[in-house]
């Protein structure tokens, strides 16, 4: 297959090129390639070609929460958003904490996923000595503070033991909010103020520093945290982090307007925090959706859960930011493809380059449209970005060379997604 005349978004910006795909891989990228005999062509003049997005933080809710999402609906939402690889979080019901629960979730994902995927294992009080044995896990997720589900590891002893035991070449991703502080403020009617995140991020970075191991901090939300990550990086420590679209595009003021629909862990923050995240994106390793669907009924109940869906809106929002000159194309690709692939040592993912998987997103950058809950693929059926005017329509998505999404429809069958391979030291 020859994709002709697309503006290829690479680490150095835009370049008009043809992309030759042979079977499931990219064979060649260059201006004006000659069309091999028998090749189909895709005319992509005026369109952008990006590497398929890699979303390293999603909650697909299966097993146990299928009324809000499952591996099929969640990965359909991914494809519709230009995301061709997702890494699923382990706070399901039951949570993924050992080989048996991991294998059961993996079997479901293999049957149902329509994009490529990896799955985390969750750290518990009991699995310090065996979590690392689940070799197929994308990484270890440690809930240093509580969020959705039962996974919680708030004691120093357990946190430190896990960080010491997990192989240094693999990723430990942490939800860093201090549980004692969360509870203290909750009793006083305050929901997870910045101090909760700042305290626990400090602790995470210091533990990793002492153990001389890498640590990845999920969904940074405050100016102080990004400063800490910056400082750690400048000291040469292997501290990495991600930010979410909702912490970049929404703020505490909007949360008051959205009500429980805007409730997330960590919460939406002040405009000063939002600006600090934008200003320091060069210290950020990935933008990840933290796609966390709940039904509107749950969100509007007396005890609303935290989390918002995000897979389908992440790329359009970021393309809008490029249009508004808040972000460069090269940063978009680094934060959503090359960065995540590097962080998780994903084989053949994250770049439009010869030898890489032909995970390709074609976007019409001049199409303006309005985000609406109608036609969303996520089972929860709503978005906190309802009514937003954005630039950039996702025209086609290829998954390992197969046309997987076009004309607003997912075209591949359940099971088309495969587990990602990771290079292991
Ligand atoms: Zn999450």
Give 289 Cα–ligand 1 centroid separation in angstroms. Answer: 8
d(CA 329, CA 352): 14
Give 150 Cα–ligand 1 centroid separation in angstroms. Answer: 13
Query: Taking Cα atoms as reference points, which of 5, 37, 112, 40 lies closest to residue 401?
Result: 40
The residues of the chain scoring below 50 in pLDDT are none
Write out the H or E segment, with its range, that includes residue 340.
helix 339-343
Give 68 Cα–ligand 1 centroid separation in angstroms. Answer: 15
d(CA 404, CA 397): 6
- Residue 94, exposed/middle/buried by CB under 10 A (0-12, 13-18, 19+)? middle
Give 287 Cα–ligand 1 centroid separation in angstroms. Answer: 13
Give 366 Cα–ligand 1 centroid separation in angstroms. Answer: 32
Give me the pLDDT at residue 128, please. 96
d(CA 240, CA 124): 22
Give 30 Cα–ligand 1 centroid separation in angstroms. Answer: 39
Q: Where are the beta strands (DSSP E) in 76-168?
A: 83-88, 116-119, 121-122, 140-143
Give 2 Cα–ligand 1 centroid separation in angstroms. Answer: 38
Give me the pLDDT at residue 9, please. 87
Give 177 Cα–ligand 1 centroid separation in angstroms. Answer: 12
Give 59 Cα–ligand 1 centroid separation in angstroms. Answer: 6
Is there a contact between 131 and 119 (Cβ–Cβ < 8 Å)? no
Give me the pLDDT at residue 11, please. 66
Give 416 Cα–ligand 1 centroid separation in angstroms. Answer: 25
Give 132 Cα–ligand 1 centroid separation in angstroms. Answer: 21
Please, what is the angle between helix 99-112 and helix 71-80, to 10°?
60
Query: Taking Cα atoms as reference points, which of 240, 232, 294, 229 lies closest to residue 265?
Result: 294
Give 329 Cα–ligand 1 centroid separation in angstroms. Answer: 26
Give 1 Cα–ligand 1 centroid separation in angstroms. Answer: 37
Give me the pLDDT at residue 150, please. 79
419: which residues sit within 8 A by CB, 6+ positions away? 106, 109, 110, 116, 117, 118, 119, 136
């Amino acid at each position: 297959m020859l994709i002709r005349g697309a503006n290829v978004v690479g680490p150095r910006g835009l370049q008009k090129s043809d992309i030759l795909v042979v079977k499931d891989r990219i064979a060649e990228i260059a201006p004006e390639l000659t069309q091999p005999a028998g090749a189909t062509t895709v005319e992509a003049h005026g369109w952008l070609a990006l590497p398929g997005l890699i979303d390293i933080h999603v909650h697909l809710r299966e097993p146990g929460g299928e009324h809000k999402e499952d591996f099929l609906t969640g990965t359909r939402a991914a494809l519709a958003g230009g995301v061709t690889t997702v890494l699923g979080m382990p706070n399901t019901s039951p949570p993924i904490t050992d080989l048996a629960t991991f294998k059961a979730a993996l079997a479901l994902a293999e049957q149902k996923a329509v994009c490529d995927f990896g799955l985390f294992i969750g750290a518990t009080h009991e699995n310090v000595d065996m979590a690392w044995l689940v070799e197929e896990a994308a990484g270890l997720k440690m809930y240093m503070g509580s969020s959705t589900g039962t996974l919680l590891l708030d004691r120093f002893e357990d946190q430190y033991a896990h960080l010491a035991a997990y192989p240094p070449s693999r990723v430990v991703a942490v939800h860093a909010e201090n549980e004692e502080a969360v509870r203290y403020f909750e009793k006083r009617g305050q929901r997870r103020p910045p101090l909760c995140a700042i305290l626990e991020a400090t602790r995470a970075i210091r533990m990793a520093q002492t153990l001389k191991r890498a640590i990845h901090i999920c969904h940074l939300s405050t100016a102080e945290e990004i400063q800490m990550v910056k400082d750690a990086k400048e000291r040469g420590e292997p501290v990495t982090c991600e930010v979410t679209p909702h912490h970049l595009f929404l703020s505490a003021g909007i949360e008051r307007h959205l009500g429980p629909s805007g409730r997330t862990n960590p919460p939406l923050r002040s405009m000063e925090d939002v600006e600090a995240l934008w200003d320091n994106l060069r210290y950020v390793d990935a933008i990840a959706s933290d796609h966390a669907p709940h039904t509107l009924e749950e969100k509007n109940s007396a005890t609303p859960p935290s989390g918002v869906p995000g897979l389908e809106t992440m790329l359009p929002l970021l393309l809008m930011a490029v249009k508004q000159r808040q972000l460069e194309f090269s940063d978009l690709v680094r934060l959503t493809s090359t960065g995540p692939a590097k962080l998780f040592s994903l084989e053949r993912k994250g770049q439009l380059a010869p030898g890489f998987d032909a995970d390709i997103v074609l976007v019409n950058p001049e199409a303006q449209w309005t985000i609406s809950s109608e036609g969303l693929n996520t089972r929860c059926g709503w978005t906190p970005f309802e009514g937003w005017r954005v630039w950039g329509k996702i025209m086609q998505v290829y998954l390992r060379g197969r046309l997987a999404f076009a004309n607003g429809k997912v075209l591949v069958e359940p099971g088309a997604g495969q587990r990602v391979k990771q290079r292991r030291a």
